[in-house]
Amino acid sequence: MPDTGPPELRGNIFEIQRFSIHDGPGIRTTVFMKGCPLRCVWCHNPESISPEPSLAFDPRLCIGCGYCSRVCPRGAHGMDGTVHTLDRSKCAVCGKCTEHCYAQALEFVGRRVSVDEVMNEVLRDAPFYETSGGGMTLSGGEPTFQVDFAMGLLHAARNHGIHTVVQTCGYAEAAVFEAMMPLVDLFLFDIKETDPEKHLAFTGVSFRRIHQNLRMLHDHGAAVILRSPIIPGCNECEDFVAGIETLATSLPNLAGVELMACNPLSESKVQRFGVNPASRAPAARPNADLVERWCERLRAAGLRVRNEPSSRAQTGD
Protein backbone atom coordinates (compact mmCIF):
# COMPACT_ATOMS: atom_id res chain seq x y z
CA MET A 1 0.00 0.00 0.00
CA PRO A 2 1.51 3.40 -0.97
CA ASP A 3 2.48 5.75 1.82
CA THR A 4 -0.24 8.34 2.51
CA GLY A 5 1.99 10.74 4.38
CA PRO A 6 2.62 11.33 8.07
CA PRO A 7 -0.49 10.28 10.02
CA GLU A 8 0.22 12.95 12.62
CA LEU A 9 -0.05 15.74 10.05
CA ARG A 10 -3.41 17.38 10.64
CA GLY A 11 -5.36 20.35 9.32
CA ASN A 12 -8.71 22.10 9.56
CA ILE A 13 -11.42 21.49 6.96
CA PHE A 14 -15.12 22.31 6.81
CA GLU A 15 -16.36 19.92 4.14
CA ILE A 16 -15.42 17.04 1.88
CA GLN A 17 -17.66 17.09 -1.16
CA ARG A 18 -17.84 13.93 -3.23
CA PHE A 19 -18.95 13.64 -6.85
CA SER A 20 -18.07 17.24 -7.61
CA ILE A 21 -18.07 18.19 -11.30
CA HIS A 22 -17.30 21.93 -11.10
CA ASP A 23 -13.87 21.87 -9.45
CA GLY A 24 -11.69 20.47 -12.21
CA PRO A 25 -11.93 17.73 -14.84
CA GLY A 26 -14.01 14.62 -14.36
CA ILE A 27 -15.64 13.44 -11.15
CA ARG A 28 -13.79 14.82 -8.18
CA THR A 29 -13.67 14.85 -4.40
CA THR A 30 -13.21 18.43 -3.20
CA VAL A 31 -11.61 19.07 0.18
CA PHE A 32 -12.66 22.48 1.50
CA MET A 33 -9.96 23.80 3.82
CA LYS A 34 -10.40 26.45 6.51
CA GLY A 35 -8.57 29.77 6.50
CA CYS A 36 -8.24 32.50 3.88
CA PRO A 37 -6.07 35.66 3.67
CA LEU A 38 -8.67 37.51 1.56
CA ARG A 39 -11.82 39.27 2.71
CA CYS A 40 -13.86 39.34 -0.48
CA VAL A 41 -16.99 41.43 -0.12
CA TRP A 42 -18.96 38.75 -1.99
CA CYS A 43 -17.46 35.70 -0.25
CA HIS A 44 -19.88 32.79 -0.66
CA ASN A 45 -18.10 30.62 1.94
CA PRO A 46 -17.80 32.93 4.97
CA GLU A 47 -17.36 29.86 7.18
CA SER A 48 -14.04 29.28 5.41
CA ILE A 49 -12.39 32.58 6.34
CA SER A 50 -11.33 31.71 9.88
CA PRO A 51 -8.91 28.79 10.23
CA GLU A 52 -10.78 27.82 13.40
CA PRO A 53 -14.22 26.18 13.66
CA SER A 54 -17.26 28.40 13.12
CA LEU A 55 -20.72 28.39 14.66
CA ALA A 56 -23.69 28.40 12.32
CA PHE A 57 -27.14 29.39 13.62
CA ASP A 58 -30.28 29.06 11.52
CA PRO A 59 -33.14 30.83 13.35
CA ARG A 60 -35.65 29.23 10.98
CA LEU A 61 -34.98 25.85 12.60
CA CYS A 62 -34.87 27.01 16.22
CA ILE A 63 -37.74 25.64 18.37
CA GLY A 64 -37.00 27.91 21.35
CA CYS A 65 -36.20 25.10 23.78
CA GLY A 66 -33.55 27.19 25.60
CA TYR A 67 -31.03 24.33 25.85
CA CYS A 68 -28.21 26.41 24.37
CA SER A 69 -28.71 29.25 26.85
CA ARG A 70 -28.47 26.80 29.76
CA VAL A 71 -25.23 25.14 28.67
CA CYS A 72 -23.29 28.06 27.17
CA PRO A 73 -20.41 28.80 29.58
CA ARG A 74 -20.08 32.42 28.43
CA GLY A 75 -23.72 33.46 28.18
CA ALA A 76 -23.60 33.98 24.41
CA HIS A 77 -27.04 32.42 24.00
CA GLY A 78 -30.17 33.86 25.52
CA MET A 79 -33.94 33.63 25.30
CA ASP A 80 -36.19 36.64 24.78
CA GLY A 81 -39.41 34.84 25.56
CA THR A 82 -39.37 32.04 23.02
CA VAL A 83 -36.98 33.86 20.69
CA HIS A 84 -33.36 32.74 20.67
CA THR A 85 -30.68 35.45 20.79
CA LEU A 86 -26.97 35.03 20.06
CA ASP A 87 -24.23 37.45 21.05
CA ARG A 88 -21.29 36.31 18.92
CA SER A 89 -18.90 38.65 20.73
CA LYS A 90 -19.22 36.35 23.76
CA CYS A 91 -19.06 33.08 21.82
CA ALA A 92 -15.90 30.98 22.26
CA VAL A 93 -17.06 28.47 19.59
CA CYS A 94 -16.68 25.62 22.06
CA GLY A 95 -19.51 23.65 20.45
CA LYS A 96 -21.39 22.83 23.68
CA CYS A 97 -24.57 24.42 22.36
CA THR A 98 -24.57 22.16 19.32
CA GLU A 99 -24.31 18.88 21.22
CA HIS A 100 -28.02 18.55 21.96
CA CYS A 101 -29.61 21.02 19.57
CA TYR A 102 -32.28 18.57 18.47
CA ALA A 103 -33.67 20.99 15.89
CA GLN A 104 -30.16 21.31 14.37
CA ALA A 105 -30.46 25.07 14.36
CA LEU A 106 -26.92 25.27 15.72
CA GLU A 107 -24.05 23.63 13.86
CA PHE A 108 -20.34 23.38 14.54
CA VAL A 109 -18.61 23.95 11.18
CA GLY A 110 -15.01 22.82 10.88
CA ARG A 111 -13.04 19.85 12.13
CA ARG A 112 -9.45 18.88 12.57
CA VAL A 113 -8.47 15.83 10.56
CA SER A 114 -5.37 13.90 9.55
CA VAL A 115 -4.05 13.30 6.07
CA ASP A 116 -5.05 9.65 6.43
CA GLU A 117 -8.63 10.53 7.38
CA VAL A 118 -9.05 12.75 4.33
CA MET A 119 -7.43 10.25 1.98
CA ASN A 120 -9.70 7.49 3.24
CA GLU A 121 -12.61 9.61 1.98
CA VAL A 122 -10.88 10.53 -1.26
CA LEU A 123 -9.93 6.94 -2.11
CA ARG A 124 -13.53 5.73 -1.80
CA ASP A 125 -14.21 7.11 -5.26
CA ALA A 126 -10.98 6.09 -6.97
CA PRO A 127 -12.84 4.01 -9.62
CA PHE A 128 -14.78 7.13 -10.66
CA TYR A 129 -11.56 9.10 -11.05
CA GLU A 130 -10.13 6.44 -13.33
CA THR A 131 -13.16 6.35 -15.63
CA SER A 132 -13.81 10.11 -15.74
CA GLY A 133 -10.34 11.61 -15.52
CA GLY A 134 -11.20 13.10 -12.15
CA GLY A 135 -9.38 13.22 -8.85
CA MET A 136 -8.92 15.32 -5.73
CA THR A 137 -9.34 19.10 -5.56
CA LEU A 138 -8.15 21.26 -2.69
CA SER A 139 -10.32 24.33 -2.23
CA GLY A 140 -11.49 26.48 0.62
CA GLY A 141 -10.89 28.96 1.97
CA GLU A 142 -7.41 28.96 0.56
CA PRO A 143 -5.33 25.74 0.46
CA THR A 144 -2.02 27.61 0.75
CA PHE A 145 -3.19 29.03 4.09
CA GLN A 146 -2.47 25.57 5.56
CA VAL A 147 0.49 24.80 3.34
CA ASP A 148 1.93 21.88 5.32
CA PHE A 149 -1.39 20.08 5.43
CA ALA A 150 -2.06 20.82 1.75
CA MET A 151 1.37 19.47 0.82
CA GLY A 152 0.69 16.31 2.84
CA LEU A 153 -2.56 15.73 0.96
CA LEU A 154 -0.93 16.39 -2.40
CA HIS A 155 1.93 13.99 -1.65
CA ALA A 156 -0.58 11.32 -0.60
CA ALA A 157 -2.66 11.80 -3.75
CA ARG A 158 0.46 11.61 -5.91
CA ASN A 159 1.50 8.37 -4.19
CA HIS A 160 -1.89 6.90 -5.11
CA GLY A 161 -1.76 8.15 -8.70
CA ILE A 162 -4.70 10.52 -8.17
CA HIS A 163 -5.05 13.63 -10.35
CA THR A 164 -4.71 16.81 -8.26
CA VAL A 165 -6.22 20.26 -8.60
CA VAL A 166 -5.63 23.28 -6.36
CA GLN A 167 -8.13 26.13 -6.43
CA THR A 168 -6.30 29.21 -5.21
CA CYS A 169 -6.68 32.95 -4.79
CA GLY A 170 -2.94 33.20 -5.51
CA TYR A 171 -2.09 35.16 -2.37
CA ALA A 172 0.86 33.36 -0.80
CA GLU A 173 4.64 33.43 -0.88
CA ALA A 174 6.04 32.42 -4.26
CA ALA A 175 8.01 29.64 -2.56
CA VAL A 176 4.72 27.98 -1.59
CA PHE A 177 3.62 27.65 -5.21
CA GLU A 178 7.10 26.58 -6.28
CA ALA A 179 6.91 23.72 -3.77
CA MET A 180 3.41 22.76 -4.89
CA MET A 181 4.05 22.74 -8.63
CA PRO A 182 5.49 19.19 -8.91
CA LEU A 183 2.46 17.82 -7.02
CA VAL A 184 -0.35 19.71 -8.78
CA ASP A 185 -1.76 18.68 -12.16
CA LEU A 186 -3.89 21.80 -12.54
CA PHE A 187 -4.23 25.15 -10.79
CA LEU A 188 -7.63 26.87 -10.83
CA PHE A 189 -6.33 30.40 -10.30
CA ASP A 190 -8.91 32.99 -9.27
CA ILE A 191 -8.56 36.53 -10.56
CA LYS A 192 -11.22 38.65 -8.91
CA GLU A 193 -10.22 42.07 -10.24
CA THR A 194 -7.40 43.42 -12.42
CA ASP A 195 -7.53 47.05 -11.30
CA PRO A 196 -5.17 47.34 -8.29
CA GLU A 197 -7.31 49.83 -6.35
CA LYS A 198 -10.53 47.91 -6.91
CA HIS A 199 -8.83 44.64 -6.02
CA LEU A 200 -7.72 46.07 -2.70
CA ALA A 201 -11.21 47.45 -2.03
CA PHE A 202 -12.99 44.19 -2.94
CA THR A 203 -10.60 41.68 -1.34
CA GLY A 204 -8.56 43.53 1.27
CA VAL A 205 -5.21 42.55 -0.29
CA SER A 206 -2.94 43.82 -3.04
CA PHE A 207 -3.18 42.36 -6.54
CA ARG A 208 0.58 42.56 -7.10
CA ARG A 209 1.56 39.33 -5.34
CA ILE A 210 -1.31 37.45 -6.98
CA HIS A 211 -0.29 38.66 -10.43
CA GLN A 212 3.35 37.73 -9.80
CA ASN A 213 2.41 34.21 -8.69
CA LEU A 214 0.14 33.71 -11.70
CA ARG A 215 2.91 34.71 -14.08
CA MET A 216 5.47 32.60 -12.22
CA LEU A 217 3.30 29.47 -12.46
CA HIS A 218 2.65 30.12 -16.14
CA ASP A 219 6.30 30.78 -16.96
CA HIS A 220 7.39 27.60 -15.16
CA GLY A 221 5.06 25.45 -17.21
CA ALA A 222 2.28 24.78 -14.68
CA ALA A 223 -1.18 24.02 -16.06
CA VAL A 224 -3.34 27.00 -15.09
CA ILE A 225 -6.95 27.91 -15.74
CA LEU A 226 -7.68 31.55 -14.96
CA ARG A 227 -11.08 31.83 -13.28
CA SER A 228 -12.98 35.03 -12.61
CA PRO A 229 -16.24 35.51 -10.72
CA ILE A 230 -18.66 38.03 -12.19
CA ILE A 231 -20.28 39.99 -9.36
CA PRO A 232 -23.03 42.55 -10.07
CA GLY A 233 -22.25 45.86 -8.43
CA CYS A 234 -18.54 45.06 -8.23
CA ASN A 235 -16.80 43.77 -11.35
CA GLU A 236 -19.70 43.26 -13.76
CA CYS A 237 -18.31 45.90 -16.12
CA GLU A 238 -16.45 46.29 -19.40
CA ASP A 239 -13.27 47.45 -17.67
CA PHE A 240 -12.99 44.15 -15.82
CA VAL A 241 -13.43 41.90 -18.85
CA ALA A 242 -11.00 44.10 -20.77
CA GLY A 243 -8.49 43.61 -17.96
CA ILE A 244 -9.05 39.84 -18.03
CA GLU A 245 -8.55 39.80 -21.79
CA THR A 246 -5.31 41.77 -21.52
CA LEU A 247 -3.99 39.60 -18.70
CA ALA A 248 -4.96 36.27 -20.28
CA THR A 249 -3.59 37.09 -23.74
CA SER A 250 -0.25 37.95 -22.12
CA LEU A 251 -0.07 34.34 -20.88
CA PRO A 252 -0.10 32.29 -24.11
CA ASN A 253 0.21 28.91 -22.40
CA LEU A 254 -2.86 29.22 -20.17
CA ALA A 255 -4.99 26.08 -20.13
CA GLY A 256 -8.06 28.28 -20.35
CA VAL A 257 -10.20 31.08 -18.98
CA GLU A 258 -13.47 30.71 -17.11
CA LEU A 259 -16.05 33.35 -16.20
CA MET A 260 -18.22 32.26 -13.29
CA ALA A 261 -21.68 33.48 -12.37
CA CYS A 262 -22.30 34.59 -8.80
CA ASN A 263 -24.37 32.20 -6.69
CA PRO A 264 -27.13 34.11 -4.84
CA LEU A 265 -27.72 31.09 -2.59
CA SER A 266 -24.71 32.26 -0.60
CA GLU A 267 -26.91 34.98 0.91
CA SER A 268 -28.42 32.35 3.20
CA LYS A 269 -25.07 32.12 4.97
CA VAL A 270 -25.02 35.80 5.96
CA GLN A 271 -27.31 35.27 8.94
CA ARG A 272 -26.18 31.72 9.70
CA PHE A 273 -22.57 32.81 10.26
CA GLY A 274 -23.20 36.25 11.69
CA VAL A 275 -21.83 38.21 8.76
CA ASN A 276 -22.57 41.93 8.82
CA PRO A 277 -24.72 42.54 5.71
CA ALA A 278 -23.34 46.06 5.46
CA SER A 279 -19.88 44.63 4.79
CA ARG A 280 -21.04 42.55 1.83
CA ALA A 281 -21.97 43.04 -1.76
CA PRO A 282 -25.43 41.47 -2.15
CA ALA A 283 -25.22 38.25 -4.15
CA ALA A 284 -27.13 38.29 -7.41
CA ARG A 285 -26.77 36.55 -10.73
CA PRO A 286 -25.07 38.64 -13.42
CA ASN A 287 -26.71 39.42 -16.72
CA ALA A 288 -26.41 36.12 -18.61
CA ASP A 289 -26.51 37.74 -22.06
CA LEU A 290 -23.81 40.20 -21.07
CA VAL A 291 -21.52 37.49 -19.72
CA GLU A 292 -22.06 35.36 -22.82
CA ARG A 293 -21.07 38.32 -24.96
CA TRP A 294 -17.89 38.63 -22.90
CA CYS A 295 -17.18 34.94 -23.45
CA GLU A 296 -17.46 35.48 -27.20
CA ARG A 297 -15.10 38.43 -26.88
CA LEU A 298 -12.52 36.29 -25.12
CA ARG A 299 -12.89 33.53 -27.72
CA ALA A 300 -12.40 36.09 -30.48
CA ALA A 301 -9.17 37.12 -28.78
CA GLY A 302 -7.94 33.55 -29.20
CA LEU A 303 -8.55 32.44 -25.63
CA ARG A 304 -9.99 29.08 -24.67
CA VAL A 305 -13.15 29.66 -22.64
CA ARG A 306 -13.56 26.50 -20.63
CA ASN A 307 -17.31 26.53 -20.02
CA GLU A 308 -20.47 28.45 -20.59
CA PRO A 309 -20.84 30.82 -17.60
CA SER A 310 -24.61 30.91 -17.96
CA SER A 311 -24.71 27.24 -16.98
CA ARG A 312 -22.75 27.76 -13.79
CA ALA A 313 -24.17 28.69 -10.41
CA GLN A 314 -20.89 29.18 -8.59
CA THR A 315 -18.44 31.91 -7.82
CA GLY A 316 -14.91 32.06 -6.58
CA ASP A 317 -14.21 32.42 -2.85
Give residue 74's pLDDT: 94
Which CATH number does the domain housing residue 90 bear?
A: 3.30.70.20
Judge if 105 and 180 occupy the same domain.
no
- Selected residue with higher pLDDT from 283 and 79: 79
Give residue 303's pLDDT: 96
Average pLDDT over residues 236-259: 96
Amino acid sitting at position 197: E
State pLDDT tens for residues 128-170. 999 999 999 999 999 999 999 999 999 999 999 999 999 999 9
Judge if 61 and 148 occupy the same domain.
no
Lowest mean pLDDT among 26-30, 56-60, 212-216, 276-280: 276-280
Judge if 93 and 191 occupy the same domain.
no
Judge if 183 and 245 occupy the same domain.
yes
pLDDT grade for 308, boundaries at 50, 70 and 90: low
Mean of per-residue pLDDT scores for the chain? 91
Helix (H), strand (E) at residue 29: strand 28-33
Judge if 159 and 251 occupy the same domain.
yes
- Selected residue with higher pLDDT from 31 and 6: 31
Indicate whether 216 belongs to any domain: yes
Whole-model pTM above 0.85? Answer: yes
Indicate whether 1 belongs to any domain: no
Judge if 239 and 254 occupy the same domain.
yes
Q: Give whichever of 42-56, 179-193, 254-268, 282-296 has the largest mean pLDDT.
A: 179-193
Judge if 80 and 16 occupy the same domain.
no
Residue 104's domain spans which residues? 54-109
* Whole-number Å distance between alpha carbons of 39 and 174: 20
- Selected residue with higher pLDDT from 162 and 276: 162
Judge if 136 and 116 occupy the same domain.
yes
Judge if 187 and 284 occupy the same domain.
yes
**Residue 216 pLDDT > 70, yes or no?**
yes
Give residue 24's pLDDT: 94
HSE toward the beta carbon, residue 67, CA cutoff 13 A: 15
Which CATH number does the domain housing residue 267 bear?
A: 3.20.20.70
The radius of gyration computed from the CA coordinates of the chain, to the nearest angstrom, equals 20
